[in-house]
Amino acid sequence: MTPRFSLRTLAALAAGLAFATASQAEEVTLRIHHFLPAGAPIQAKVLEPWCQKVTKESANQIKCKIFPSMQLGGSAPQLYDQAKDGVVDMIWTIPGYTPGRFLVTELFELPFMMNTPEATSRALWEFQTKHNAAEYKEVKPLAFHMNGPGNFYTRSKPIQSLADFKGLKMRGATRQTTRMLSALGATPVGMALPAVPEALSKGVIDGALTPYEVVQSTRMHELTKFTTESDPKFNAVYAQVFVLAMNKAKYDAMSPELKKVIDANSGADLSAWIGKMIHEADAPGRKLVQQANNTIHTLPVSELQNWKKATDQLDEELVAEINKRGLNGAALLKTAKELIEKSR
């Protein structure tokens, strides 16, 4: 017997087929917001290649629009909440721009914690997802990473020892970097990176802390005359934690197939790769400093050990703060150090 279909049945089948086709052709556009200029390494070397990769692996169903320099409004410290609240779909930012909010994360920003950005970024991802997921439960983290070793840039005199910090107003990005500056003998001034060039040019600050990677975007080689870096055989004096995160509702609304693409381009490997790429971007920045004929002083291990002694109490202070939140700060610090050493 030949099956017979009513017009209503045929219409329903056609509608179902159209829906299935539309689902297969689902397109998602991710609006990515960050605080650095478009030419900064984070966009050119990380965000743009990442977008190209997810677009290709999703058969052009996932696309990106990157908005640098806070083009969608707000300030750098507001980026995390923009992702949380769905104002944007993805952000790249420094959690430490909101002091004390991501307290456990600050363990990785303590002085002399980081060995290499690549290895420490891998350890950071494992730590955050296994031991500190609660701090980021409002978003979908895609990567956590470190930047390259931080340097000290000054306008009027070089920093070669602890005594040289006296009387200097130095910019720090996060709570731990400003505390470190105070322990070293400087007067700390907290501010986000976009405000640094103007503060230097107007003499509001005498110097700043940044890695070589952002020299070009901040004109650090033009605004300062002296750079102090540390011996690479010793752990970095300081480094900062960064997060690449997605709005949870945006992720949850994706099809299972597109979620797999995002998941395949997230995690420990992505975190380590970003750390590596950002560290590689330090070399061109250092070259700019050299071409400007600025003085570069490399701190020897013997002097770095003095700096470590001067800042050791910051570990104890942060552990005590974490304890007040009902967590075991000492155990978390021990775990962080073990993961960093394991990833070396």
Q: Where are the domains of the chain?
A: 27-147+241-280, 151-238+284-343
Given a contact cutoff of 8 angstroms between Cβ atoms, the answer to whether 41 and 277 are in contact is: yes
For residue 203, give every residue at least 6 positions away whose Cβ sits within 8 Å of its Cβ, in sequence order, or none.
155
Domains 27-147+241-280 and 151-238+284-343 share a fold: yes
Grade residue 24 by pLDDT with cuts at 50, 70 and 90.
low
Helix extents (H) in the chain: 7-24, 41, 48-57, 79-85, 117-131, 175-184, 196-201, 215-218, 220-223, 248-252, 256-264, 268-280, 282-291, 301-311, 313-323, 329-343
- How much is the pLDDT for 20? 41
Instruction: Specify the pTM.
Output: 0.90
Instruction: Examine the pLDDT at 96 and tell me if it is beyond 50.
Output: yes
Which residues make beta-bridge pairs with 152?
Answer: 209, 228
Q: Is 47's pLDDT higher than 80?
A: yes
pLDDT category of residue 10 using cuts at 50, 70 and 90: very low
pLDDT of 81 strictly over 80:
yes
Tokens describing residue 195: 């405000």
- For residue 331, pLDDT over 50 is answered with yes
Region 87-111 average pLDDT = 97
- Class of 151-238+284-343 in CATH: alpha beta
Reported CATH class of domain 27-147+241-280: alpha beta
What is the three-class DSSP state of 78?
helix
* Secondary structure letter of residue 112 according to DSSP: T
Quickly tell me which residue has 């690479």 as its tokens: 232
* Residue whose tokens read 């993805």: 90
Question: For 202-343, where are the alpha helices, taking DSSP H only?
Answer: 215-218, 220-223, 248-252, 256-264, 268-280, 282-291, 301-311, 313-323, 329-343
Local confidence band at 16 (pLDDT 50, 70, 90 cut-offs): very low
Max Cα separation, the chain? 98
Are 183 and 206 in contact by the 8 Å Cβ rule? The answer is no
